[in-house]
Structure 1
Amino acid sequence: MNQSSLNATLIFTSYGSFHPLNYFFFALTLIFYLLSVCSNVFLMLVICFESSLHKPMYILLFNLAINGLLGSSAVWPKIMDILYSNTKEISQQACLLQVFWVNVYATCVYTTLTAMAYDRYVSICKPLQYHTIMTASKVKQLLLLVNVIPACVIALQIYLTSRLPLCKYTIDKMFCDNLTIVNLSCIRSTIVNLYGLCVIIGLILLPIIIVLVSYVMILTVCLKTSKDAQKKALSTCSPHLITFINFSLASLFNVIYNRVHSSRPSGINIFFSLHFVMVPPLLHPIVYGIRTQEIRRSIARILRKRDLCMVV
């Protein structure tokens, strides 16, 4: 192995030459990042302080908000640093670390959404058994599975990628991703490629299939119930379904960007690359805040308490 590649410096080429407009984009990026952080932290605080939300669905939603913070923080600070300082360099170790957190974010979102789909399935299809199935210990097990398994799997993927010797040192992307680093290598590793395929199948495609099967079963049960029950089920599932569709579209955009970005206009490149880490972390807490009645009520109670305290 080329030992010098362990300390290699990689250069982003997607940002172009420095322009005063960079400061505007820096400010815009900062606003998006702060909005994402604030919306997720606010949702986490509401769930934390409202005892009525200490239920399996909202505990999993708390985990989803943590993933949103992780995805945003893995990418935006480095982008802001490049825009502000015009320093387009990143060490190989920092690049691999960014890849690790971005991939953990992506896979953990899918596994968390899968656990949430399972919770909705039990709630709607087996309502009388819900409390015996979704126990506190079961929720802890689910949280362990949706977080630890992706982290361990991605850690091994990053280790395999880090063993590849580099012959090229330019990254034509907005941030680091595993495929780009693999393509910078002097060799083509069958093990790395096969392992990457297994990661996609096991932590992305399989969760998508499980979520879809869950909703087919939910739909089958709903069709046999009354109109009121169908409306209640729809209102319960709609935030999760919107979140799932949105993140799947974001993932699809990211795949398109990684595969065919060189033949597309730069504006579309930027949208495809940043949508993945910009829109879902910002949209998910807003969707749940607007579409979930219990969260709306909890927020209203918190605001009333705050107003009461200010009056007193």
Structure 2
Amino acid sequence: MINSTQVSYFTLAAYVDTGVFKYLYFMIILSLYMLIVCANVLLIVVICMNRSLHEPMYLFLCSLFVNELFGSTGLFPFLLVQILSDIHTVSVFFCFLQILWLYSYVCVEFLNLFLMAYDRYLAICCPLQYNTRMTTKKVATLITVTWLFSFLAILVLISLSAPLQLCGNIINKVYCGNYHIVKLACSDTTINNIYGLIYTVISVIIPLILILYTYLRILKVCFSGSKQTRRKAVSTCTPHLASLLNFSFGCCFQILLSRFELSSLPNVLQVILSLYFVTCQPLFNPVMYGLNMSKIGIICKSLLFKLCWEG
């Protein structure tokens, strides 16, 4: 029996030998990462530098864009190194660090999307109370609690997984996942499974239910309101819903691939689907909000025009 103190590294078995194509994959992944960084940094700078955007909706957006940078940075540099490497191993410490990084990203994303839905609910359904119920101080508190709760929840998850006695060190993925480490355990994992279920309910299922409830209330107000109210609701809620659906589908792919042996799917397709939640979302959000939020779009265009003109 191999215990956790004897396992010094994990082998990531999902990587295959791509020969000279690894340089092509490296350039594609690097280009995608640079695009994500540039798009999200641009929008963060735009929101931070313009006082007209220091409103709750845009502050929540800024937190969302910071999280996209956080999540993609936890994966892309690691992928780039692994693509060029001939030995696809990762130390136990870094493996759990990546779990903390990526799982926190998922938790923050869902909770942040819930805060954005709640903000829109107050703005559309309770407009007279909006300024008193959604103050700058409350926004800062909600964002801080979201990030702290996510990190603490994942730290507890890791503290339960790290001491497990392991009977192997092969993870059939291109990055580390807590579920796959628990599957390697020889010891009892009942507490891990119970906590994993509680964590999923609190950080994913409950926020999803609350988001759907708030949007149902918003739709009810829209259908009974004026054309102007409906237009405002559609313009502000469409990107939120699109972002939620995109991220939810990505997480569903990840859960299905982790818990079910989908051997009928080609290996390349399995890898792409498992990476969807942390590759497409960080690129999808800046494009979606940049195109649909007129205030952000106008300021971004003027900033880019100014940079090009000065250059």
So what's the TM-score if we normalise by structure 1?
A: 0.95
Structure 1 residue aligned with 2:144? 144
The CA RMSD measured in Å over matched residues stands at: 1.6
Shift of 1:203: 0.4
CA contact (8 A) 1:115 1:146 kept: no
In structure 1, give the amino acid aligned to 2:296: I
Aligned-partner Cα distance in 1 for 2:4–2:236: 54
Structure 2 residue aligned with 1:281? 282
Higher helix share: 1
**Helix, strand or coil at the partner of 1:10:** strand
**Helix, strand or coil at the partner of 2:211:** helix
Whether 1:36 aligns to 2:36 is yes
Structure 2 residue aligned with 1:210? 210
Shift of 1:188: 3.1
Q: 1:133 to 1:30 in 2, by over 3 A?
A: same
In structure 2, give the amino acid aligned to 1:139: V
Shift of 1:71: 1.1
CA contact (8 A) 1:261 1:269 kept: no
Structure 1 residue aligned with 2:247? 247
Structure 2 residue aligned with 1:221? 221
| Unaligned ranges ≥5, structure 2 | none
| Unaligned ranges ≥5, structure 1 | none
Q: 1:9 to 1:138 in 2, by over 3 A?
A: same
Shift of 1:23: 1.0
Shift of 1:260: 2.5
Aligned-partner Cα distance in 1 for 2:301–2:220: 35
For residues 281-305 of structure 1, give each alpha carbon's deviation from its aligned partner in whole angstroms, at most 9, with x where no partner exists.
1111111001111101221332455
Aligned-partner Cα distance in 2 for 1:223–1:240: 19
For residues 96-130 of structure 1, give each alpha carbon's deviation from its aligned partner in whole angstroms, at most 9, with x where no partner exists.
11011100000000000000000000000011111
CA contact (8 A) 1:256 1:272 kept: no
Aligned-partner Cα distance in 1 for 2:176–2:4: 21
Aligned-partner Cα distance in 1 for 2:4–2:271: 33
In structure 2, give the amino acid aligned to 1:85: S
**Helix, strand or coil at the partner of 2:75:** helix
Aligned-partner Cα distance in 2 for 1:149–1:39: 27
Aligned-partner Cα distance in 2 for 1:306–1:200: 44
Aligned-partner Cα distance in 2 for 1:282–1:218: 27
**Helix, strand or coil at the partner of 2:224:** coil
Q: 1:53 to 1:261 in 2, by over 3 A?
A: farther
Alignment of 1:258-297 (within 5 A): 258-263=258-263, 264-297=265-298
**Helix, strand or coil at the partner of 1:176:** coil
For residues 197-250 of structure 1, give each alpha carbon's deviation from its aligned partner in whole angstroms, at most 9, with x where no partner exists.
000000000000010000011011111101222011100111111111111111
**Helix, strand or coil at the partner of 2:11:** strand
Whether 1:51 aligns to 2:33 is no
So what's the TM-score if we normalise by structure 2?
A: 0.95
Q: Comparing 199-208 with 67-76, which one deviates more in the overlay? A: 67-76
Aligned-partner Cα distance in 2 for 1:18–1:136: 51
Q: 1:171 to 1:135 in 2, by over 3 A?
A: same
Aligned-partner Cα distance in 2 for 1:193–1:302: 49
Aligned-partner Cα distance in 2 for 1:98–1:63: 20
Whether 1:121 aligns to 2:121 is yes
